[in-house]
Structure 1
Amino acid sequence: MKYLFKNQLWALALIALLFSCEPRGNERPRGKYDSGILLMNEGAFGANDGEVFHYDPSSGTLSQNIFELENGRPFAGLLEDLVLEEDRLYLVANTGKVEIVNPGTFKSIGAVVGDLDQPRSVATSREKLFISDYGPYDASYNTPDSFVAVVSGELGGTVKKKIEVSNKPEDLYVFGKYVFVAGSEEGKIEIIDADTETVTKTLEVTGTPVQFFEQRGDLWLYSYDSQKVYFQSINPTNLTKKELRQFSVANATSRITFGEDDRIYLLTSSGWPNYNDGIAVLSLFDSTLIPSWKTGSGFYGIGFDKDRKEIYVANAKGFQGNGEVVVYRKDGSVVKTLEVGRGPSGFLVR
């Protein structure tokens, strides 16, 4: 799940909570989905039955198919990402659409449909929506026409421009007027100027880059190959690379989450035919490296609840029916097992 914690916004919210005596009239009332954990079920290819479940850890209540429940229609797509931007939640389907909902009520407030192929993630800058998209497959199942789509409004609409980028763009990160794009197949960071809607700079990186994140005030990019994982720090002000750190973790995947004490949890998988999966734990700032914190088969997504210090591991069960989510304590003991939808793959902790 490609969700960036916006420190400044949360700091302002905390100050308002601590020092205000009167509720402000323009504050959005808290909805029933503004707390708890959103569980993203990718869905099965061909069935396009991706959906979102909501889990309340305090009560143990699991609400199913909340998009359909709140909008009276199925989501009807394969869910790739959930991205929270202030008072908008973007549901990205790699089957060619982006739905936008109110994050508290899950009621639809907009959409981008048409002129998208395989969208992967979204970000907003300059009141525009930027969508990374693999583009269509060619006859050899390559994606030579990958792009970042530009939509004029943050609440969706039509695609007004496609910015050509390297093959298979993944995560996006915004700093000022710049939109950073993780170009996974060709090992690049492409930097788009949101004002001119053009690529202004390209940085070569090691491994397959898939996700940006912030830790200890720095911007980092996570990438991997068959034998190692890589973390490249970036200076977003002058658009340059800083420090590269690498760890010997074999068979890493793109699935990653961030725990307390700067711990990073990531999924590994040997792939077909054995699917020997695991969870590695490491830190960028000390000597922590646990290559096999947990092992199993069918691991497909991972998340971390910092309030309860619990790790959520999604298991797709080979897409043979519905999957499950196992909740672990940091010591590896099981808290709970949840029966979820098809292809559970990500979490958004509210």
Structure 2
Amino acid sequence: MKLNQLFWAAALVTVSFACSDSGDEKPLGKYDNGILIMNEGNFGTNDGEVYHLNPTTEELLPNIFEAENLRPFAGLLEDMILEGDRLYLVANTGKVEIVNPADFKSLGAVASELDQPRSLAVNGTKLFISDYGPYDDNYGTPDSYVAVVNGLDGGVVSKKIEVSNKPEALFSYGNYIIVAGSEENKIEIIDAAQETVVTTLDLEASPKQFHAEGNVLWVYSITSDDVVFYTVNLNSLTLGNTYTIPLADATSRIAFDGDDEMYVLTSTGWPDYNDAVINIDIEGSNATATELMTGSGFYGIGYDHNSDQIYVANSNGFQGNGTVTVLSETGSVVRSFEVGRGPSGFLVY
């Protein structure tokens, strides 16, 4: 799952005890409940980090990777992927750190042979990592790839699978890895056993994020003027419906509430940075967009299924720390608080 990744929220059942593989109950770890806040960090200083929020008590614990491992994260944090009893922290500065989500203690890493990793998916005992690859002289990325690592706790890259430029989100299903090829408007499907692309689906918009509901995969995609949702039938790996919503300047940030409603960010970019939080509601063949909040500096969004609240991250122009504003589903402000540098995503337990 992504925040998926991310920068969208993933909901888990909140309970008092977790079950071990033996069936015995064990107390939850320090970070097993609440919300993880992904702070990207500042380019050059590479000070990305994770905060933990208890939304009930409003207790906020900063820099939990450094606190639990006695070393800084030392990277720009791009994505957080929760898979079973492992949390993968993807840094677009060339590494993946793997921690136990209960206590945030390090379990391993992929610390070499990556260039600009973007996201990650697990298939069997393999890690698949989307990577822009190195920049060429014109800042293009003609050598983008999906890296393969044999081992859930990291290790070395065993293969780099060539894909279209600028792969973003990944989704694992059955024996396949589904890749969002953002620059060339493609969905590429990798056979996880063969470690090769076996199918390509061409789109009219740039795919950014995935969200699965049953045997249907939603593909969040954008153009300069529209938001486009494609559906993929996971049983046949073919395109299904397309929903187009006239909405200019949508960013790659999205949160799903699990009930055919989505929350996205728009931004006019430099020099005005007129930003907005938009609710998109899809019912049947109809889709509507409603503006909930406007401002400047919106950088990430998440949804807390436990409280039905929207979390909006503001980078504050990377001038010092960022802030998070919590909204009700109707857009009213519940509270705001300061977080780390460049907050960009949330993971809700």
Q: TM-score range by the shorter chain?
A: over 0.9
Cα drift, residue 153 of structure 1: 0.5
Hey, what does 2:169 align to over in structure 1?
A: 171
- Report matched runs for 1:25-174 at 5 Å: 29-174=27-172
Hey, what does 1:341 align to over in structure 2?
A: 340
SS of the aligned residue for 1:68 comes to helix
Cα drift, residue 27 of structure 1: 5.8
Does the Cα contact within 8 Å between 1:266 and 1:279 map onto a contact in 2?
yes
- Report matched runs for 1:196-235 at 5 Å: 196-215=194-213, 217-235=215-233
SS of the aligned residue for 2:115 comes to coil
Task: Give me the whole-angstrom Cα distance separating, in 2, the residues matched to 1:284 and 1:319.
Answer: 34
CA separation of 1:87 and 1:29: change in aligned 2, threshold 3 A: farther
Cα drift, residue 292 of structure 1: 2.0
SS of the aligned residue for 2:283 comes to coil
> Can you give the 5+ residue segments of structure 2 that lack an aligned partner in the other structure?
none
Match of 2:262 among 246, 261, 264: 264
- Report matched runs for 1:222-301 at 5 Å: 222-259=220-257, 261-285=259-283, 287=286, 289-301=288-300
Cα drift, residue 261 of structure 1: 3.7
Using the TM superposition, name which of 161-170 and 199-208 deviates more. 199-208
Cα drift, residue 23 of structure 1: 10
Which structure carries more relative contact order (alpha carbon 8 Å, separation 6+)?
Answer: 2
Task: Give me the whole-angstrom Cα distance separating, in 1, the residues matched to 2:21 and 2:139.
Answer: 55
Hey, what does 2:303 align to over in structure 1?
A: 304
Question: How far does the alpha carbon of each residue in 1:173-223 deviate from its partner, in whole angstroms, 9 at most, with x for none?
Answer: 011000000000000001000001000011001211011102365211110
- Report matched runs for 1:322-337 at 5 Å: 322-337=321-336
Task: Give me the whole-angstrom Cα distance separating, in 1, the residues matched to 2:25 and 2:167.
Answer: 36
> Can you give the 5+ residue segments of structure 1 that lack an aligned partner in the other structure?
none
Match of 1:191 among 182, 189, 193: 189
Question: How far does the alpha carbon of each residue in 1:212-237 deviate from its partner, in whole angstroms, 9 at most, with x for none?
Answer: 10236521111001110111111122
Task: Give me the whole-angstrom Cα distance separating, in 2, the residues matched to 1:6 and 1:349.
Answer: 6
Does the Cα contact within 8 Å between 2:5 and 2:209 map onto a contact in 1?
no
SS of the aligned residue for 1:135 comes to coil
Task: Give me the whole-angstrom Cα distance separating, in 1, the residues matched to 2:234 and 2:258.
Answer: 24
Task: Give me the whole-angstrom Cα distance separating, in 1, the residues matched to 2:36 and 2:308.
Answer: 16
Identity value in percent: 57
Question: How far does the alpha carbon of each residue in 1:264-317 deviate from its partner, in whole angstroms, 9 at most, with x for none?
Answer: 000000011000000111122254523422110000000011111111000000
| Count of matched residue pairs | 343
Cα drift, residue 335 of structure 1: 1.5
Runs of 4 or more above 3 Å deviation: 3-7, 22-29
Hey, what does 2:4 align to over in structure 1?
A: 2
Letter in 1 for 2:305: K
Q: TM-score, normalised by structure 2?
A: 0.93
Letter in 1 for 2:297: G
Question: How far does the alpha carbon of each residue in 1:6-61 deviate from its partner, in whole angstroms, 9 at most, with x for none?
Answer: 99xx79x99x98xx9x9955666421111100000000000000000000011110
CA separation of 1:293 and 1:216: change in aligned 2, threshold 3 A: farther
Match of 2:180 among 182, 199, 202: 182
SS of the aligned residue for 1:69 comes to helix
SS of the aligned residue for 2:313 comes to strand
Task: Give me the whole-angstrom Cα distance separating, in 1, the residues matched to 2:265 and 2:316.
Answer: 15
1:316 pairs with 2:283: no
Question: How far does the alpha carbon of each residue in 1:141-162 deviate from its partner, in whole angstroms, 9 at most, with x for none?
Answer: 0000000000000110000000
Task: Give me the whole-angstrom Cα distance separating, in 1, the residues matched to 2:5 and 2:162.
Answer: 24
Does the Cα contact within 8 Å between 2:245 and 2:287 map onto a contact in 1?
no
Task: Give me the whole-angstrom Cα distance separating, in 2, the residues matched to 1:35 and 1:172.
Answer: 25
SS of the aligned residue for 1:203 comes to strand
CA separation of 1:29 and 1:100: change in aligned 2, threshold 3 A: farther
Task: Give me the whole-angstrom Cα distance separating, in 1, the residues matched to 2:178 and 2:26.
Answer: 30
Question: How far does the alpha carbon of each residue in 1:73-103 deviate from its partner, in whole angstroms, 9 at most, with x for none?
Answer: 0000000000000000000000000000000
Does the Cα contact within 8 Å between 2:281 and 2:289 map onto a contact in 1?
no
Q: TM-score, normalised by structure 1?
A: 0.93
